[in-house]
């Protein structure tokens, strides 16, 4: 602390946060955009923005929410750029690019392929609600929209996902 009582920037604190959250942020970015290389870029950009604003962030307990919001905005903004609109084929170009650290690799492939077909805003809502485990209010805060918008985007996104996945949706449901 300096004489004015303000907290000095402590690089170790940022490093600790980075080390603790980098995999989760990268995984969320992948679920939002569907490509590991772009997910790395988005995660890196979000951490760079966090580092740039580190001194001004007073509520250290809200870092995860701040990162989610920054990440979602970056992915949605990029998807709106005309030169980034990509057409996905039914076969992924790099099937081996998804890490196989669990027994549910096939399920992840099916889910990620389905999420790719859902519009970016709806995809963001689905990822935050069901994969990051946020409730409606927290998702609305992360996206900067109303709770009603989150609910409607969830409904539309799930309907789009059901249409795309069809019979594969039954395979994603746990048995029992």
Q: Which run of H or of E encompasses 143?
A: helix 136-143
Using a cut of 0.85, tell me whether the model's pTM lies above it.
Answer: no
Closest of 121, 98, 129, 107 to residue 34, by C-alpha: 98
Q: How far is CA 50 from CA 29, 45, 58, 141, 170, in A?
A: 15, 9, 12, 18, 40
Q: Which residue reads 């492939």 in tokens?
A: 109
> For 130-153, what is each residue's pLDDT tens digit?
888 889 998 998 888 999 999 999
In the predicted model, is pLDDT for residue 122 greater than 50?
yes
Closest of 41, 73, 80, 42 to residue 141, by C-alpha: 73
Mean of the per-residue pLDDT values for the chain?
77
What is the pLDDT, as a whole number, of residue 6?
Answer: 42
Question: Could you give the CA distance from residue 129 to residue 10 in angstroms, rounded to a whole number?
Answer: 33
Of 113 and 173, which is predicted with more confidence?
113
Q: What is the torsion angle, in degrees rounded to the nearest 10, for the CA atoms of residue 42, residue 95, residue 122 and residue 19?
A: -40
CATH number of the structural domain spanning residue 157:
1.20.140.160
In the predicted model, is pLDDT for residue 40 greater than 90?
yes
* For residues 119-128, average pLDDT: 88
Residue 99, in any domain of the structure:
yes
In the predicted model, is pLDDT for residue 56 greater than 70?
yes
Full residue range of the structural domain in which residue 72 is found: 11-172
3-state helix, strand, coil in the chain (%, to 5): 70, 0, 30
Question: Could you give the CA distance from residue 129 to residue 31 in angstroms, rounded to a whole number?
Answer: 12
- For the packed helices 136-143 and 147-165, what is the interaxial angle rounded to 10 degrees? 100
Residue 1, in any domain of the structure:
no
Residue 53, in any domain of the structure:
yes
Residue 113, in any domain of the structure:
yes
Structure tokens at 100: 């196989």
Residue 2, in any domain of the structure:
no
- Inter-residue contact 38 to 97 (CB < 8 Å): no
Tell me which of 13-22, 85-94, 129-138 is least confident: 85-94
Residue 3, in any domain of the structure:
no
Question: Could you give the CA distance from residue 130 to residue 82 in angstroms, rounded to a whole number?
Answer: 29
What is the pLDDT, as a whole number, of residue 2?
Answer: 45
What is the pLDDT, as a whole number, of residue 82?
Answer: 58
Residue 58, in any domain of the structure:
yes
């Amino acid at each position: 602390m300096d004489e004015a009582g303000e907290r000095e920037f402590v690089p170790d604190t940022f490093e600790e946060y980075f080390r603790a959250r980098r995999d989760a942020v990268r995984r969320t970015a992948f679920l939002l955009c569907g490509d590991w290389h772009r997910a790395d870029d988005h995660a890196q950009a979000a951490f760079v923005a966090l580092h740039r604003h580190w001194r001004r962030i007073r509520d250290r307990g809200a870092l995860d929410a701040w990162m989610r919001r920054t990440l979602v905005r970056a992915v949605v903004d990029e998807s709106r750029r005309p030169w980034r609109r990509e057409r996905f084929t039914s076969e992924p170009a790099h099937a081996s690019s998804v890490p196989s650290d669990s027994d549910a690799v096939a399920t992840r492939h099916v889910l990620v392929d389905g999420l790719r077909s859902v519009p970016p805003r709806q995809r963001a809502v689905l990822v935050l609600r069901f994969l990051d485990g946020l409730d409606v209010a927290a998702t609305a805060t992360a996206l900067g929209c109303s709770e009603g918008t989150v609910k409607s985007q969830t409904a539309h996104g799930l309907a789009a996902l059901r249409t795309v996945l069809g019979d594969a949706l039954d395979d994603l449901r746990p048995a029992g």
